[in-house]
Amino acid sequence: GQNIDQPTEMTATEGAIVQINCTYQTSGFNGLFWYQQHAGEAPTFLSYNVLDGLEEKGRFSSFLSRSKGYSYLLLKELQMKDSASYLCAVRGYSNSGYALNFGKGTSLLVTP
């Protein structure tokens, strides 16, 4: 089975940096993903990590440590539009095949 934990809520100030952590337990690990979901909208893809290390994409970076079952999403130069839910998702393999399982999401509020 899979167990994915991330903080429920976070608050940060416009222009600041925020780090959203995710820990996971899974069988047959095959990649970790971050998605952004604004209220009432569909999730949109942010990043993908399958090897250890940091992946940078503009203001967003994602880090993975497979041995620790740990990832974080780093958001720099926060903007008001970054207020959203951030979903950590882990791809794993079981006898039912591959599955992409999401955490409950971290609701980020960016304040002026």
Partner 1 sequence: ETGVTQSPTHLIKTRGQQVTLRCSSQSGHNTVSWYQQALGQGPQFIFQYYREEENGRGNFPPRFSGLQFPNYSSELNVNALELDDSALYLCASSSGTLASNTGELFFGEGSRLTVL
Closest CA to 111 of 73, 76, 83, 85: 83
Scanning residues 8 to 37, which ones bind partner 1 (CB under 8 A)? 30-31, 33, 35
Rounded least distance, CB 42 to partner 1, Å: 4
Cβ proximity of 94 and 101 under 8 Å? no
Q: Can you read off the two tokens belonging to residue 29? A: 């690990």
Q: Is 54 in the site for partner 1 (CB under 8 A)?
A: no
Cβ proximity of 22 and 76 under 8 Å? no
Judged by CB, which is closer to partner 1: 1, or 112?
1
* Contacts of 97 by beta carbon, 8 Å cutoff, 6+ apart: none
Judged by CB, which is closer to partner 1: 27, or 30?
30
Q: Is 104 in the site for partner 1 (CB under 8 A)?
A: yes
Residues that bind partner 1 (CB under 8 A): 1, 4, 30-31, 33, 35, 41-45, 48, 87, 89, 91, 93, 96-105
